[in-house]
Chains A and B, each alone.
Chain A
Amino acid sequence: MTMGEFDKINAGDTFTGAPFAVTRDTIRDFAEGSLDFNPLHLDDNYMQGQFGKTKFKGVIMHGMSNFGLLSRMMTDWLGPRGGVYRRMETRWVAPTYPGDTITPSGRIKQKNVTGKSHWMLFEVEMRNQKGELIASGEAMAEFPAAA
């Protein structure tokens, strides 16, 4: 006996999150909301330089915005299905700039049953309006056994 819709969901199923239009204002809002005021995200003059062998063409969205938006997609999708979001691992592949619109998506990779619970593994990614990969990773959710 499992909680939620664990048995109804199949490997290979896909879903998408809400598109997110990135602007200087949304970047500023994220800085205020996360307390991450790194000038990478706010200072045009600073972004003329080089950073750890990396060069950007202007201020960039916080990498952790990707993380927050992917997490939101997971909780939005899992909540109605009785799943609990447990883990996310992502790496950033390309920067996101003001003017980009990014969309998260997920795919069920596999299901696992352990001695005490039920687990679902996901592949997740973020792409911009050109279809370019911005972030990729994996997530895990638990579907606890019904009481």
Chain B
Amino acid sequence: MSDFETDFWKDAGKRKTWDDIVPGERRPAIPYVLTLEAIHKYCRSVGDLNPLYFDAEVAKKSVYGGLIAPPSIHILLMFACTPADDWMRTPGTINAGQSWFYSRPARPGDTIHMDSRALDKFIKKERLFVIHDNVFYNQDKEVICSGRGWTIRPQ
């Protein structure tokens, strides 16, 4: 994904702060084509060399019938599907926890769509929390996974 902006400061001024975020409001999203190269780069970053992700012959004989991405590929998809001016990319955003349910694997070549929103926001121990919920679909509108995350917003 060569056009991905890795400088998270660049659009910092355009992003919503905790005060601006409206619970229930959808977050903009961009479709993302998941490549085998991206899957492998993510897998290697967590030391996961499972043949279901790397070995086409082994994967073909498995119940999946071909290469798949690991369930936790949503970690990549979250940023890949998020526009540069979205508050998910705000520097200093602290991840406090997440929950995810996996329905079906993503596969190389899938076009991924994200349906995401801020779900709730609150203050606890003087920290500014936002809960976001997310669903990732493939090009056939099949649910890949769904989940929620708790972030602490920078002051």
- Asked if A52 and B154 sit within 8 Å, CB to CB, the answer is yes
For residue A70, which residue of chain B has the nearest CB? B72
Q: Is the interface of B mostly helix, strand, loop or mixed?
A: mixed
A contact residues, total (Cβ < 8 Å): 42
A97 within 8 A of B: no
B16 within 8 A of A: no
C-alpha spacing A51/B44, complex, angstroms: 29
Output the least CB separation between B98 and chain A (Å). 6
Output the least CB separation between A30 and chain B (Å). 4
- Asked if B127 and A53 sit within 8 Å, CB to CB, the answer is yes
A53, A68, A75, A91 pick with most chain B CB within 10 angstroms: A68
Q: Which of B50, B79, B94, B154 contacts A35 (CB 8 A)?
A: B79
Output the least CB separation between A138 and chain B (Å). 9
B contact residues, total (Cβ < 8 Å): 46
- Asked if B48 and A37 sit within 8 Å, CB to CB, the answer is no
Output the least CB separation between B94 and chain A (Å). 6
- Asked if B127 and A34 sit within 8 Å, CB to CB, the answer is no
- Asked if A35 and B80 sit within 8 Å, CB to CB, the answer is yes
Residues of A within 8 A of B97 (CB): 63, 89-92, 137
Assuming the contacts A35-B1, A38-B92, A38-B93, asked whether A29 and B45 have C-beta atoms less than 8 A apart, the reply is yes
Contact mask for chain A residues 70-81; partner B; CB cutoff 8 A; 1 contact, 0 none: 011001100100
Output the least CB separation between A21 and chain B (Å). 10
- Asked if A51 and B94 sit within 8 Å, CB to CB, the answer is yes
B70 within 8 A of A: yes
Output the least CB separation between A18 and chain B (Å). 7
B140 within 8 A of A: no
Residues of B within 8 A of A79 (CB): 50, 52
For residue B8, which residue of chain A has the nearest CB? A37
B34 within 8 A of A: no
Q: Which of B79, B101, B128, B150 contacts A34 (CB 8 A)?
A: B79
C-alpha spacing A86/B147, complex, angstroms: 12
A121 within 8 A of B: no
- Asked if A39 and B92 sit within 8 Å, CB to CB, the answer is yes
For residue B80, which residue of chain A has the nearest CB? A35
A26, A71, A76, A89 pick with most chain B CB within 10 angstroms: A71
A26, A52, A64, A75 pick with most chain B CB within 10 angstroms: A52
30 A-B pairs in the complex with CB atoms less than 8 angstroms apart: A20-B47, A29-B45, A30-B45, A33-B42, A33-B46, A35-B1, A35-B76, A39-B9, A39-B91, A40-B94, A46-B92, A51-B94, A52-B94, A52-B152, A52-B153, A53-B155, A54-B152, A64-B72, A64-B75, A65-B45, A68-B48, A71-B70, A71-B71, A71-B72, A72-B48, A75-B50, A89-B99, A91-B96, A91-B97, A137-B97
